[in-house]
Amino acid sequence: MRIGKVLLIGRPNVGKSTFVNNLIGQKVAITSPKPQTTRFSIKALYEDERGKIIFVDTPGIMGKTEDHLSQRINEKTLQIINEDVDLVLYIIDHTRKRDFEENKVLGLVRKINRPKILVINKIDSEDKSFLPQYKFLEDEFSSVFQISAINRTHVDPLLNKIFEYITEKSDEEIPKDLKYPILNIDSKIFISELIREKIFLMMGEEIPYRATVIVDEITERTDKLTYIRARILVTDDRYKKMVIGSLGRKIKEIGSYARKEIALAINKKVFLDLKVETDPHWQETYY
């Protein structure tokens, strides 16, 4: 059986998490149109009759890191890319201009001494393309694929190529802890990420970067009901008021959408006890 590890790297919002989710067939990483949605690496297992691949979805490398959170995300990503992997997928979004941030990521990719594939994502997009700015990269990579992660266009040929780089292992060499589909996050983190995704999708441009979610309790009340107690932490009281909304409408809306998705994920009814608290130091405490 072929067993291997594949690293996904790119700047924020190029579609790495969408690629992993659609390939695995289950949400393992949250997504939104806003950059910096992913804050830590997700390791997810793909398997078929050919073997098993651990995909390592990294947070996007940011060009500017002016706050503590951005600095920590970049630091963690730099640690991840030094892990031992079989293959690197360098994912770019051709609808965005090549800039300092992209050059920073490319510089890191060039330093990784592993086989690499260039993946040009969002070919389904009707936005203006800057593909000519990336044309020179084709000479630096052994293979180039143009895909749509959201529609799975050309993903199967890419997967076939990935398996060519994955080595055969004997039964004795196969790790016993490979579990589908999530390898490295527990239920509290997974649920907190689902709630945080709803904040990214339903709030304005600023608040998602001033908020995080902490799950304090998950209790099986009955065979059919799971109780979850969680807190949305924001850096300032004015953000707290905005997340709660007039007469508590916004927090109820966030909670309702999150509860439905959690219930779908765990196949049980969910009581979500969700509160908002102000903690100016949550970035230092939790990241």
Q: What is the pLDDT of residue 278?
A: 96
- What is the average per-residue pLDDT within 141-147? 94
Instruction: Provide the pLDDT for residue 257.
Output: 94
228 strand-pairing partners: 218, 272
The pLDDT value given to residue 70 = 57
Helix (H) or strand (E) holding 256: helix 249-266
Per-residue model confidence (pLDDT) at position 56: 87
CA dist list (Å): 163 to 3, 19, 47, 83, 127: 9, 16, 11, 19, 32
Long-range contacts of 12-15 (CB under 8 A, 24+ apart): 12/36, 12/37, 12/38, 12/59, 12/60, 12/61, 12/62, 13/37, 13/60, 13/93, 14/60, 14/91, 14/92, 14/93, 14/96, 14/121, 14/122, 15/91, 15/93, 15/121, 15/122, 15/149, 15/150
* Neighbouring C-beta atoms of residue 121, cutoff 10 Å: 25
Averaged pLDDT, 250-279: 93
Q: How far apart are CA 85 and CA 206, in angstroms?
A: 35
- Which residue's entry shows tokens 């309790």? 217
- Cα(217)–Cα(261) distance, integer angstroms: 18
- What CATH fold (topology level) applies to the domain 187-286? GMP Synthetase; Chain A, domain 3 (3.30.300)
CA-wise closest residue to 94 among 124, 64, 116, 115: 124
Domain ranges in the chain with CATH number 3.40.50.300:
2-173
Burial label for 84, CB within 10 Å (0-12, 13-18, 19+), is: exposed
Q: Where in the chain is the domain with CATH 3.30.300.20?
A: 187-286
**What percentage of the chain reaches a pLDDT higher than 90?**
47
The 10s digit of each residue's pLDDT in 180-194 is 556 656 788 888 988
The pLDDT score that the predictor gives to residue 81 is 66
Which residues fall within 8 angstroms of residue 67, CB to CB, at 6 or more apart? Answer: 283
**Is this model's pTM higher than 0.85 or not?**
no
**255, containing H or E segment:** helix 249-266
What's the pLDDT tens digit per position in 27-86? 776 666 665 556 667 888 898 999 999 898 877 665 555 555 656 655 666 566 666 789
**Feature table: binding site:** 10-17, 57-61, 121-124
Annotated binding site for GTP: 10-17, 57-61, 121-124
Cα–Cα distance measured from residue 13 to residue 11, given in angstroms and rounded to the nearest whole number: 7
Whether the link from the prior residue into 181 is cis, omega within 30° of 0, is yes
Q: Which of 43-47, 119-123, 247-251 has the lowest average pLDDT?
A: 43-47
Average pLDDT, the chain: 85
> Which pLDDT tens digit goes with each residue over 201-234?
888 777 877 889 999 999 999 888 999 999 999 9
Residue type, 36: Q
Token pair for residue 218? 């998950």
Q: What six digits make up the tokens of 191?
A: 């649920």
pLDDT class of 264 with cuts at 50, 70, 90: confident
Domain 2-173 has CATH 3.40.50.300: yes
